């Protein structure tokens, strides 16, 4: 496996979202490479020749990735609550930017249901387009996470045009660039990002960087900046624990996704996989981020200036 290869991920990790793009790529270029569970698009699970995967909904009574669909649905309500609670803190630093982050996370949950729920046929144009948009949202989500840390340093005044305009422009850049690269990977629009050579390697370095490397780097830098602000500048202790717990939950979600996913899939006879646990852990990590943010913002301002 070389840098940027998705072949191992698509065969070993059930419900790995970006494999939807490569399934279409292989379907268009060399369909003979699709074997096993992937041979029939009308039944194929998420992945490219996966060793274990949840069949398309209504295939032999399959309910699709029902556990993760439920986890995403419940998480949507949790995130809506976070948006409402953060909106009420009218004088809190970074309120507008944090709500953008929550809103993007909510959208990724909705798209996750569509792209990994085994509800749409593999290789279909609709699934590919939704997956490309999903990739764009994920890359943008982690920029907004990092952007919130930058805003917290008060380099520019939060909630103002000097903050929101560059915040929005960079967000748009990440979304457009990642979505286009994803579409090009699947449909070989310009031949710049696909098909892979050799085809079976499922290689896509730009896509790999934007969907796998970039989120990890952004999260790491975010936690570093926030710990510096909380400990070095504000000299607070309690919010640190929320950030630490959030980081631990995020790491555990990734370990579950990449290490336990196939184990759970096999143990359940392809009824569910570990993606629902990863979703729960990721949402819990986002909740902890909100609690940490609430802990470092001045609640008294809300009472004094916004008594209603």
Q: What is the CA radius of gyration of the chain?
A: 20
Report whether pLDDT(43) > 50: yes
| DSSP assignments along 213-236, one per residue | IHHHHHHHHHHHHHHIIIIIIS--
Locate 54 and state its tokens. Answer: 């949840």
Residues in contact with 42: Cβ distance below 8 Å, sequence separation at least 6, in sequence order: 56, 59, 121
SS3 call for 203 = strand
User: Per-residue pLDDT tens for 65-101?
Assistant: 999 999 999 999 999 999 999 998 876 788 899 999 9
Residues 181-198: what's their mean pLDDT? 85
* Ranges of each domain in the chain: 7-222
157: left (phi over 0), alpha (psi -120 to 50) or beta: beta
For residues 197, 198, 203 and 206, what is the CA-based torsion angle, rounded to 10 degrees? -10
Which pLDDT score, from 0 to 100, does residue 254 have? 96
Residues in contact with 254: Cβ distance below 8 Å, sequence separation at least 6, in sequence order: 278
Answer whether the bond into residue 282 is a cis peptide, omega within 30°. no
What is the rounded distance in angstroms from the CA atom of residue 215 to the CA atom of residue 197?
Answer: 26
- Tell me 118's DSSP state: S
Which pLDDT score, from 0 to 100, does residue 79 have? 98
User: Per-residue pLDDT tens for 46-69?
Assistant: 999 999 999 999 877 889 999 999
Report whether pLDDT(185) > 80: yes
Report whether pLDDT(261) > 50: yes
Which pLDDT score, from 0 to 100, does residue 171 have? 97
158-167 long-range Cβ contacts below 8 angstroms, 24+ apart: 158/93, 158/94, 158/95, 158/96, 158/97, 159/94, 159/95, 159/96, 159/97, 163/96, 163/97, 164/96, 164/97, 167/97, 167/100
What is the rounded distance in angstroms from the CA atom of residue 33 to the CA atom of residue 28?
Answer: 11
pLDDT category of residue 121 using cuts at 50, 70 and 90? very high
pTM across the whole model: 0.94
Residues 150-172: what's their mean pLDDT? 90
């Amino acid at each position: 496996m070389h840098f940027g290869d998705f072949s191992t991920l698509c065969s070993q990790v059930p419900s790995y979202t970006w494999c939807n793009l490569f399934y279409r790529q292989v379907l268009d270029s060399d369909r003979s490479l699709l074997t096993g569970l992937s041979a029939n698009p009308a039944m194929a699970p998420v992945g490219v020749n996966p060793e274990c995967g949840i069949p398309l909904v209504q295939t032999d009574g399959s309910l699709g990735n029902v556990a993760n669909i439920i986890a995403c649905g419940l998480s949507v309500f949790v995130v809506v609550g976070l948006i409402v609670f953060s909106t009420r803190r009218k004088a809190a630093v970074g309120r507008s930017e944090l709500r953008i982050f929550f809103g993007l996370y909510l959208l990724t949950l909705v798209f996750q249901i569509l792209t990994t729920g085994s509800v749409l046929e593999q290789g279909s144009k609709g699934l590919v387009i939704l997956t490309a948009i999903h990739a764009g949202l994920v890359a943008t989500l982690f920029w907004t996470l990092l952007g919130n840390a930058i805003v917290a340093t008060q380099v520019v005044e939060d909630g103002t045009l000097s903050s929101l305009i560059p915040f929005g422009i960079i967000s748009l850049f990440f979304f457009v660039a990642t979505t286009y690269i994803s579409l090009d990977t699947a449909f070989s629009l310009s031949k710049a990002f696909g098909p892979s050579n050799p085809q079976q390697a499922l290689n896509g370095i730009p896509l790999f960087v934007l969907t796998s490397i970039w989120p990890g780097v952004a999260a790491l830098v975010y936690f570093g900046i926030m710990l510096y602000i909380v400990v070095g500048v504000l000299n607070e202790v309690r919010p640190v624990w929320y950030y630490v717990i959030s980081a631990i939950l995020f790491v555990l979600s990734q370990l579950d996704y990449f290490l336990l996913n196939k184990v759970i899939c096999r143990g359940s006879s392809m009824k569910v996989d570990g993606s629902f646990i990863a979703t729960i852990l990721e949402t819990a990590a986002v909740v902890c981020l909100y609690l940490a943010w609430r802990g470092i913002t001045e609640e008294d301002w809300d009472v004094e200036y916004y008594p209603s």
